[in-house]
C-alpha cells in the first residue's frame, strides 16, 4: 500500500487566522463529517456564535484554499527576494538566543 506523501502538513491552530471583516478569529469547522462530502472550512467565530447580523459579509473558507494560498505566498517570498528570508531567520535566531525573558522571570521569582 502506497503512503500518501504530504508536502505540507500545517496544523492551522487557534488564533492564527482573522476575519477580514470584523477582526475576530476564525475557527475550524467540519461539514458532513460522516459522508463522502466531508469538507473542512474556517469560519468567523463572531458569525458562528452571534449570527450573520454581527458579521454579515463573512463566508466560510475551505482549508484547502488556505493551504494553497500559504504555499503560493511562501513560494513567491522564496523566489522574489532571498534577503527577506535571511533577515527573517536572523531575527528568529536572535529571539531564540535572547535571554532577557529568562532574566525577567528570575527577577519576578526572586521578589
pLDDT digits (tens, 9 = 90+) for 56-108: 998 888 888 888 888 888 777 777 666 777 787 788 788 777 777 667 777 77
- Is pLDDT of 43 > 50? yes
CA–CA distance, 67 with 40 (Å, rounded to integer):
12
- For residue 24, give Cα distances in angstroms to 52, 63, 69, 99: 13, 17, 20, 33
Q: Give the residue extent of every domain in the chain.
A: 26-105
This prediction's pTM: 0.57
Average of per-residue pLDDT values in the chain: 78
- Is pLDDT of 10 > 60? no
Amino acid at each position: 500500500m502506497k503512503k500518501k506523501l504530504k508536502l505540507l502538513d500545517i496544523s492551522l491552530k487557534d488564533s492564527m487566522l482573522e476575519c477580514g471583516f470584523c477582526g475576530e478569529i476564525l475557527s475550524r469547522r467540519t461539514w458532513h463529517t460522516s459522508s463522502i462530502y466531508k469538507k473542512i472550512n474556517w469560519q468567523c467565530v463572531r458569525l458562528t456564535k452571534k449570527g450573520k447580523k454581527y458579521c454579515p459579509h463573512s463566508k466560510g473558507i475551505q482549508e484547502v484554499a488556505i493551504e494553497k494560498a500559504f504555499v503560493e505566498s511562501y513560494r513567491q517570498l522564496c523566489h522574489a527576494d532571498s534577503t527577506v528570508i535571511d533577515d527573517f531567520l536572523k531575527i528568529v535566531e536572535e529571539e531564540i538566543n535572547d535571554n532577557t525573558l529568562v532574566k525577567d522571570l528570575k527577577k519576578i521569582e526572586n521578589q
